[in-house]
Amino acid sequence: MAHVIAEECEALTRAFSGLGGLGVDEKTLISALSNWRRQPEKRSLFRRGSSDLFRTHDEAGFERWEDDYVKHLKAEFARFKNVLLLWAMHPWERDARWAHHVLHKSHPFAILVEIACTRSSEELLGARKAYHALFHHSLEEDVAYHVKESNAKLLVGLVSAYRYEGPHVNVERAKSEAKKLNGAIKKGGEENPIENADVIRILTTRSKPHLKATFEFYKELYGKSIDEDLGDDFCLQETVQCLKSPATYFSKVINQALQDGADKNTKEALSRVVVSRSEIDMMEIRDEYHKHYGTTLEDAIAARTHGNYRDSLISMVSGADK
The helix (run of H) or strand (run of E) holding residue 192 is none
Q: State whether 214 and 293 are in the same domain.
A: no
- The per-residue pLDDT for range 187-225, each reduced to its tens digit, is 766 788 999 999 999 999 999 999 999 999 999 999 999
pLDDT-based confidence at 179, cuts 50/70/90? very high
What is the predicted pLDDT for the residue at 321? 59
Q: State whether 226 and 289 are in the same domain.
A: no
Q: State whether 233 and 274 are in the same domain.
A: no
Examine the fold and report which residue of 55, 89, 123 is the final residue of a domain before the chain moves on: 89
What is the predicted pLDDT for the residue at 38? 66
Q: State whether 238 and 269 are in the same domain.
A: no
Task: Give the chain's mean pLDDT.
Answer: 89
Q: State whether 229 and 295 are in the same domain.
A: no
Backbone region of residue 66 per phi and psi (left: phi > 0; alpha: psi in -120 to 50; beta: other values): beta
What is the predicted pLDDT for the residue at 23? 64
Task: Domain of residue 2: give its range.
Answer: 1-89
Within-domain flag for 195 = yes
What is the predicted pLDDT for the residue at 21? 47
With 60 as the cut, is the pLDDT of residue 237 above it?
yes
With 90 as the cut, is the pLDDT of residue 142 above it?
yes
CA–CA distances in Å: residue 304 to residues 76, 297, 315: 22, 11, 15
Within-domain flag for 301 = yes
- The per-residue pLDDT for range 87-102, each reduced to its tens digit, is 889 999 999 999 999 9
With 70 as the cut, is the pLDDT of residue 49 above it?
yes
Q: State whether 75 and 4 are in the same domain.
A: yes
Within-domain flag for 275 = yes
Q: What is the pTM of this model?
A: 0.89
Answer positive or negative: Cα dihedral of 213, 203, 280, 107: positive
Within-domain flag for 97 = no
Q: How far apart are CA 205 and CA 97, in angstroms?
A: 24
CB 250 within 8 A of CB 273: yes
Within-domain flag for 290 = yes
Within-domain flag for 295 = yes
Within-domain flag for 100 = no
pLDDT-based confidence at 26, cuts 50/70/90? confident
Q: Which residues, including other chains, have CB under 8 Å from residue 156's CB and lie 6 or more apart?
A: 140, 143, 144, 147
Q: How far apart are CA 196 and CA 181, in angstroms?
A: 9
Examine the fold and report which residue of 89, 118, 145 is the final residue of a domain before the chain moves on: 89
Q: State whether 273 and 191 are in the same domain.
A: no
CA–CA distances in Å: residue 215 to residues 60, 212, 240, 247, 288: 36, 5, 9, 17, 19
Domain count for the chain, please give it. Answer: 3
Q: How far apart are CA 280 and CA 286, in angstroms?
A: 12
Within-domain flag for 306 = yes
Q: State whether 222 and 290 are in the same domain.
A: no
Q: State whether 216 and 283 are in the same domain.
A: no
- The per-residue pLDDT for range 183-195, each reduced to its tens digit, is 999 876 678 899 9
What is the predicted pLDDT for the residue at 189? 65
pLDDT-based confidence at 20, cuts 50/70/90? very low
Q: State whether 274 and 215 are in the same domain.
A: no
CATH of the domain at 237: 1.10.220.10
With 80 as the cut, is the pLDDT of residue 251 above it?
yes
How many residues does this entry show for the chain?
322
Q: Which residues, including other chains, have CB under 8 Å from residue 109's CB and lie 6 or more apart?
A: 102, 147, 149, 151, 155, 235
